[in-house]
Amino acid sequence: MSATILGNPTHSGNQNNHLVGGEIPHEVLRSLYLKDVIANGQTEGSFITFTRAQEDFPSVKKLNPLNKKRILVTGGAGFVGSHLVDRLMLMGHDVICVDNYFTGSKVNIAHWIGHPNFEMIRHDVVDPLLVEVDQIYHLACPASPVHYQSNSVKTLKTSFFGTYNMLGLAKRVKARFLLASTSEIYGSPKEHPQNEEYWGHVNCFGPRACYDEGKRVAEALTYSYARQDGVDVRIARIFNTFGPRMNFNDGRVVSNFILQALRSEDITIYGDGSATRSFQYMHDLIDGLIQLMESDCTEPVNLGNPHEFTIKEFANMVIGLVNEQRDQPSTSNVVYLPAVIDDPPRRKPDISRAKERLNWEPRISVHEGLSETVSYFKRAMELEIAPVL
């Protein structure tokens, strides 16, 4: 089944009319992260009650068996992985989610547990796994600096052995393999914006090296398996992505700023606020990942939103959106702390290749995505069931 975006590309106005990849209405996806799942848990004092799903599963497409694929998503209980699982399930595929729950949570995929098309396996990708599948989306790896630096050796093991095991599986069962790589492989870039031909500027001794170099070796492994063993590979270089189900404690600007503003705490900016970042909303990323998997593009592809904001502008946007959704305006002030080591001053994707080869570009504005994300964080905070590590 093609994942081509078939909807009306307009993204202003009525949000409920979006169609995203696989002709899935945005409204259907939204119900999975803004309503049902979070409403499943209620906290009272020191108790939390999860309600067994009373309602039917969301309807999934009925696919011709020739088009129905068995798809493995590693890291499928994480932020990006769980949205990818949602999309592939709604598109009608058989989905196997593998996760060790290091940063992911069963809450993120609870709405599919028991569905005949869905299986969940608790497994660490550092160990080999054998399942018969047609496609592998390999996302398993912590993505936030707080988490990947908490056990840097494990991060390197996950990046190398995890990718090695999944590529070995792809070779054995002849599955197509997609690696979730990252813009971090460009390090602190000397070129701006970054296109896929840029080799990067990475500190292999720094605190971020376990992740940056881990992903670089994962890319090298991926291409070695392609060259040596003919494995059919795709590489997505993902730039900053945000959205509902981000871990509350992931320590990155989006969750930090939203939580600080919702709690009326000071918004902390590391550095002077002039560093720029580009942020993409997760639905755009999921479209890009599926379109890349379905394409014939074997070169690495940047997936990100080229729209740049200074961190300061971004903080003000968050405060504005939080104020729109609260009765009491946030009393947060912006405070500046020393810059973090090796934090790149600028990062912006050149997405020409994605446009040309996949006909992909982001369609959802940062403002709109952020508004949904604020709603999610606010609701999860009210119910006190947010996935907090």
Ligand X SMILES: NC(=O)c1ccc[n+]([C@@H]2O[C@H](COP(=O)([O-])OP(=O)(O)OC[C@H]3O[C@@H](n4cnc5c(N)ncnc54)[C@H](O)[C@@H]3O)[C@@H](O)[C@H]2O)c1
Do 141 and 155 form a contact (C-beta atoms < 8 A)? yes
Which of 188/330 has CB closer to ligand X?
188
Which of 158/371 has CB closer to ligand X?
158
The per-type count for the chain, helices as H runs and strands as E runs, is 12, 17
Which of 21/142 has CB closer to ligand X?
142
Give yes or no: 148 in active site: no
Identity of residue 315: A
DSSP letter for 155, please: H
Whole-angstrom distance, CA of residue 74 vs CA of residue 161: 13
Whole-angstrom distance, CA of residue 48 vs CA of residue 288: 37
Among 141, 315, 321, 380, binds ligand X (CB under 6 A): 141
Judged by CB under 6 A, which stretch of 78-86, 169-177, 286-294, 323-331 contacts ligand X? 78-86
Judged by CB under 6 A, which stretch of 10-18, 25-33, 62-70, 75-83 contacts ligand X? 75-83
139 touches ligand X (CB under 6 A)? yes
222 touches ligand X (CB under 6 A)? no
Judged by CB under 6 A, which stretch of 21-29, 88-96, 101-109, 348-356 contacts ligand X? 101-109
DSSP string, 177-228: EEEEEEGGGGBS-SSSSB-TT---B--TTSTTHHHHHHHHHHHHHHHHHHHH
Which of 53/156 has CB closer to ligand X?
156
Which of 23/119 has CB closer to ligand X?
119
380 touches ligand X (CB under 6 A)? no
Whole-angstrom distance, CA of residue 369 vs CA of residue 364: 7
Catalytic residue among 33, 137, 148, 211: 211
Tell me, residue by residue from 182 to 201, as one string, x for binding to ligand X by CB under 6 A and - for no binding.
x-------------------
Helices marked H in the chain — which ranges? 26-30, 37-39, 79-90, 145-150, 152-157, 163-173, 209-229, 253-262, 282-294, 311-324, 352-353, 366-383
Q: How far is the CB of 115 from ligand X (least distance, A)?
A: 19
Residue 97, exposed/middle/buried by CB under 10 A (0-12, 13-18, 19+)? buried
For residue 270, give both structure tokens: 């590391």
Among 143, 259, 354, 380, binds ligand X (CB under 6 A): 143
Catalytic positions are 211
Binding region for ligand X (CB under 6 A):
75, 77-81, 99-104, 124-126, 139-143, 158, 162, 180, 182, 238, 240-241, 247
